[in-house]
């Protein structure tokens, strides 16, 4: 509780407590290439496969293109796409921060379902992250492609973006329309280029949910976390070994 910026009595509802801000010194930002965008549980990390798929849980994967609603351009020679998934539980700090210095270019809002994203349930719904409502932020960082996606969940469809405060999520009457199969159509908007700094607050969930990072980096990139590890916003996720954290 010492990390909370305001006294408990200042939070007039559970919603205010869930979205509480922290003291500015509560989450030091590591001098690593990539830091955690949120407090939570590292559920899966890895390299995107040659088939363009990410692991959801052991034995289950999903398409990167379907998840992002776009296909990143081919990586530079000697580089690859990596990913990390952070699950925010109901008791975690609910604000989302940038995991690196990067240039934000596009926002894509993907209306969809709101299945629970608790790690114990991921094995029951294939490609769950591609089905749930989500907000995809894409752009570039010093190693190439970069994206940060906030995935909604059961009772947690509402996602607030600091960089686009007028965006409305978790509303039944979407104006985007549906495709031939009756699925909601994703809506992409150019909101950049906008320089985002590592540790900068990007938005928040109204309860808890999941953040998915996908980034391009040289093949020397090394993770500093393992699946099942609890992590705090700003802690080291990994670096290119030729440029280790101080």
Tell me whether residue 209 is one of the annotated catalytic residues.
yes
Q: Which residues contact 79 (CB under 8 A, 6 or more apart)?
A: 143, 144, 216, 217, 218, 219
171 SS3 class: coil
Q: What is the Cα–Cα distance from 97 to 43, expressed in whole angstroms?
A: 18
Of the residues 33, 39, 147, 160, which is catalytic?
Answer: 39
* Bridge partner residues of 83 (DSSP): 46, 214
Structure tokens at 106: 């596009």
Tell me whether residue 109 is one of the annotated catalytic residues.
no
Of the residues 61, 130, 158, 209, which is catalytic?
Answer: 209
48: exposed, middle or buried (C-beta count within 10 Å: 0-12, 13-18, 19+)? buried
Q: Which residues contact 56 (CB under 8 A, 6 or more apart)?
A: 44, 62, 122, 126, 127, 128, 129
Structure tokens at 73: 């351009």
Of the residues 97, 109, 143, 160, which is catalytic?
Answer: 97
Tell me whether residue 172 is one of the annotated catalytic residues.
no
Could you give the residue ranges of the DSSP H alpha helices within 26-140? Answer: 64-68, 128-131
Instruction: Please count the CA atoms within 13 angstroms of the CA of 32 that sit on its side-chain side.
Output: 22
Catalytic residues: 39, 97, 209
């Amino acid at each position: 509780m010492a990390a909370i910026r305001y006294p408990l009595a200042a939070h007039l509802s559970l919603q205010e407590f869930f979205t509480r801000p922290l003291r500015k010194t509560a989450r030091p930002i590591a001098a690593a290439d990539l830091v955690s965008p949120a407090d939570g549980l590292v559920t899966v990390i890895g390299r995107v496969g040659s088939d363009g798929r990410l692991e959801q849980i052991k034995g289950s994967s999903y398409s990167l293109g379907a998840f992002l609603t776009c296909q990143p351009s081919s990586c530079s020679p000697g580089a690859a796409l990596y990913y990390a998934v952070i699950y925010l539980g109901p008791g975690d700090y609910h604000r989302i921060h940038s995991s690196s210095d990067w240039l934000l270019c596009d926002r894509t809002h993907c209306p969809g379902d709101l299945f629970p994203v608790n790690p114990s349930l991921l094995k029951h719904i294939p490609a769950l992250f591609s089905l749930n409502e989500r907000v995809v932020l894409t752009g570039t960082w010093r190693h190439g492609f970069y994206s940060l996606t906030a995935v909604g969940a059961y009772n947690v469809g509402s996602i607030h973006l600091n960089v686009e405060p007028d965006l409305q999520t978790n509303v039944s009457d979407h104006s985007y329309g549906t495709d031939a199969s009756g699925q909601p159509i994703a809506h992409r908007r150019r909101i950049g280029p906008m320089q985002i700094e590592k540790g900068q607050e990007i938005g928040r969930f109204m309860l808890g949910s999941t953040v998915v990072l996908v980034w391009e980096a040289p093949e020397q990139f090394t993770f500093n976390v393992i699946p099942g590890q609890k992590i705090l916003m700003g802690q080291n996720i990994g670096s290119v070994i030729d440029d280790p954290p101080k």
